[in-house]
Structure 1
Amino acid sequence: MKNIKEAEAEGGINKQNIRYYEKMGLLHPDRNTINGYRKYSEEDIRRLKFIYLF
């Protein structure tokens, strides 16, 4: 699992766009129940790359 900074670097997409995709329902990262931080799986990263292409 990766945090948003790592997902941003690996996916080549800035964090504002990642959050926008989440808000639009295109992405569903897990959240840490203690601090609310988003955690992105490898599937989430693949989805980010796919969304970015289109």
Structure 2
Amino acid sequence: MKIKDVEKQVGISKANIRFYEEEGLIHPARNQENNYREYSEADENSFRKLKSCV
């Protein structure tokens, strides 16, 4: 799923998602065709856990 999908499903902003990536907490795969971030269900679950800690 793409960043906008994670943003809607988890309820956190794109800025927060990118922050977690910069801090090394999340490591999404990259689509080789367009270099977009591709988030897995495991990434989504990690975001939910991070959100609950804040």
The one-letter amino acid paired with 1:17 is N
Which of structures 1 and 2 has the larger relative contact order (alpha carbons within 8 angstroms, sep 6+)? 1
Q: TM-score, normalized by length of structure 2?
A: 0.92
Cα shift readout 1:7-54 (whole Å, capped 9, x = no counterpart): 100111011100000000000111012211001111100000101111
**What is the RMSD computed on CA atoms of the aligned residues?**
0.7
Moved over 4 A (4+): none
**Can you give the 5+ residue segments of structure 2 that lack an aligned partner in the other structure?**
none
How many pairs does the alignment contain? 53
Sequence identity percentage: 45
Q: What letter is aligned with 2:32? A: T
Q: 1:18 is aligned with what amino acid?
A: I
Map of 1:31 onto structure 2:
30
1:19 equivalent to 2:14? Answer no
Gaps (5+ residues) in structure 1?
Answer: none
* Segment drifting more, 28-37 vs 39-48: 28-37
